[in-house]
């Protein structure tokens, strides 16, 4: 009896151990620990800048071809002028470069490529009828890549420009720097923040302090080759949203500029529209009054044909005017062909080379006639 009981207990012990072992084997494996989400530098920059989004009223907007946006900005001449590098210097180099000339027309800020084809910001001063040797703003470091579209405020101190690189949300971003009046050097540029910058390309910021109007040029929400020119009302000081003033969703909408109509609550839009209309009328009147500007020497600038003292000088200028028109059309055609080539139409290569040769020959002819006119008038 004892032996039979012992055998029974031994069997039960084996069964229990087997069941316990099976229970241990069926225990689920521990879940892997969640890995931290990797955030890109651009996304981190966006999150840091979102809370400082500026409260700005955007009055209106217009979509234009990227190749002509500089001429589509109705900038008051007293705030300076904006023009493409080829049109200003009457050459076909640096097709993407731009030039800002101050209201006194004695200083320019412009962008052009160096020996490595990296675009940088340069400045030059007028020396008689010529410009001084370009001086590169080296204090704008190499971390600001492909620098372009400079604009200097009328204070002669505040400079805006566009650049790519680690300090950008994506593509071109707009940056601001100020000149040290004692040294003449510019301080380290700062990202101008949102809504002026976005993950798209934001090319230009220009401000007319006299009419209290500003223009932002961006390709956000636009098809390739097109940009939107936003007109806004600048503020004396940067105004940020107070905590709890808007929801996170609304804040992102203002930061990304998803609806300019939503920003009309930040100012008097009707007053701004009247300022725009008055500015356009004034520009039209000025353009009709001054048909051209032709420097003769340090003291004389001709603006009408009756200013010419010699018959020879007047006749040569009439010929020169036609060459200017031909040169402008040639440069525009060259820009279009270069753009087509970059988009994959490689059959345009021979045409581009031919146009470049014609542009160089025309430039030399224009320069010769300009010199002959000045010599004739100065005698």
286, burial (CB in 10 Å: exposed 0-12, middle 13-18, buried 19+)? exposed
pLDDT tens, 106-162?
Answer: 999 999 987 666 899 999 998 877 899 999 999 999 899 999 999 999 999 999 999
Read off the tokens for 376.
């004739």
Q: What is the pLDDT of residue 353?
A: 86
Asked if 283 and 353 sit in the same domain, the reply is no
pLDDT for residue 21 is more than 50: no
pLDDT band at 295 (very low <50, low <70, confident <90, very high): confident
**CA–CA gap between residue 140 and residue 138 (Å, rounded):** 5
17 lies in some domain: no
pLDDT band at 99 (very low <50, low <70, confident <90, very high): very high
**Mean predicted lDDT score pLDDT of the chain:** 87
Residue that terminates a domain, selected from 289, 322, 349? 289
pLDDT band at 290 (very low <50, low <70, confident <90, very high): low
Asked if 231 and 355 sit in the same domain, the reply is no
Asked if 253 and 336 sit in the same domain, the reply is no
Asked if 204 and 346 sit in the same domain, the reply is no
Q: What is the pLDDT of residue 108?
A: 97
Among the residue ranges 35-44, 62-71, 120-129, 254-263, the one predicted with the least confidence is: 35-44
**CA–CA gap between residue 209 and residue 214 (Å, rounded):** 8
70 lies in some domain: yes
Asked if 90 and 218 sit in the same domain, the reply is yes
Mean pLDDT is highest, among 15-24, 219-228, 315-324, 361-370, for 219-228
Q: What is the pLDDT of residue 231?
A: 98
How big is the chain, counted in residues? 379
19 lies in some domain: no
Asked if 142 and 160 sit in the same domain, the reply is yes
Q: What is the value of pTM for the model shown? A: 0.75
**CA–CA gap between residue 44 and residue 244 (Å, rounded):** 22
Q: What is the pLDDT of residue 22?
A: 45
Asked if 141 and 230 sit in the same domain, the reply is yes
pLDDT band at 19 (very low <50, low <70, confident <90, very high): very low
**CA–CA gap between residue 126 and residue 123 (Å, rounded):** 10
Asked if 214 and 156 sit in the same domain, the reply is yes
335 lies in some domain: yes
Contact 246, 224 (CB under 8 A): no
35 lies in some domain: no
Among the residue ranges 110-124, 210-224, 280-294, the one predicted with the least confidence is: 280-294
Asked if 140 and 59 sit in the same domain, the reply is yes
Asked if 151 and 179 sit in the same domain, the reply is yes
Asked if 264 and 364 sit in the same domain, the reply is no
74 lies in some domain: yes
**CA–CA gap between residue 164 and residue 146 (Å, rounded):** 6
pLDDT for residue 317 is more than 70: yes
Asked if 226 and 373 sit in the same domain, the reply is no
157 lies in some domain: yes
How many structural domains are present in the chain?
Answer: 2
> Which of 131, 234, 121, 236 has its CA nearest to residue 179?
121
Residue that terminates a domain, selected from 254, 289, 324? 289
pLDDT for residue 57 is more than 90: yes
Q: What is the pLDDT of residue 14?
A: 54
Residue that terminates a domain, selected from 274, 289, 304? 289
345 lies in some domain: yes
**CA–CA gap between residue 379 and residue 364 (Å, rounded):** 23
Range of the domain at 91: 42-237+246-289
């Amino acid at each position: 009896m004892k032996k039979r009981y012992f055998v029974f207990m031994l069997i039960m012990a084996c069964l229990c151990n087997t069941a316990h072992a099976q229970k241990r084997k069926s225990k689920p494996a521990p879940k892997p620990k969640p890995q931290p989400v990797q955030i890109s530098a651009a996304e981190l920059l966006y999150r840091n800048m979102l809370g400082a989004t500026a409260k700005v009223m955007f009055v209106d907007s217009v979509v234009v071809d990227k190749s002509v946006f500089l001429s589509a900005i109705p900038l008051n001449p007293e705030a300076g002028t904006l023009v493409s590098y080829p049109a200003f210097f009457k050459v076909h180099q640096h097709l993407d470069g731009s030039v800002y000339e101050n209201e006194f027309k004695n200083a320019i800020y412009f962008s052009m490529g160096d020996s490595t084809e990296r675009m940088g910001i340069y400045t030059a001063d007028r020396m008689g009828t010529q410009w001084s040797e370009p001086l590169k703003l080296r204090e704008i470091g190499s971390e600001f890549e492909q620098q372009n579209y400079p604009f200097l405020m009328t204070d002669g101190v505040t400079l805006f420009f566009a650049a790519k690189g680690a300090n950008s949300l994506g593509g071109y971003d707009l940056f601001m720097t100020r000149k040290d009046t004692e040294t003449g050097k510019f301080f380290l540029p700062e990202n101008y923040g949102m809504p002026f910058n976005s993950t798209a390309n934001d090319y230009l910021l220009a401000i007319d302090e006299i009419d209290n109007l500003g223009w932002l040029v961006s390709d956000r929400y636009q098809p390739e080759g097109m940009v939107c020119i936003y007109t806004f009302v600048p503020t004396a000081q940067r105004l940020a949203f107070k905590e709890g003033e808007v929801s996170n969703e609304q804040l992102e909408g203002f930061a990304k500029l998803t609806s300019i109509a939503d920003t009309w609550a930040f100012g008097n839009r009707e007053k701004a529209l009247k300022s725009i209309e008055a500015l356009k009328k004034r520009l039209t009147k000025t353009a009709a009054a001054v048909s051209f500007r032709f420097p003769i020497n340090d003291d004389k600038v001709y603006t009408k044909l009756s200013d010419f003292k010699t018959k020879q000088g007047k006749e040569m200028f009439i010929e020169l005017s036609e060459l200017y028109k031909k040169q402008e059309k040639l440069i525009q055609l060259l820009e279009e062909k270069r753009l087509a080539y970059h988009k994959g139409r490689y059959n345009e290569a021979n045409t581009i080379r031919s146009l470049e040769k014609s542009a160089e020959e025309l430039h030399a002819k224009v320069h010769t006639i300009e010199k002959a006119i000045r010599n004739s008038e100065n005698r």
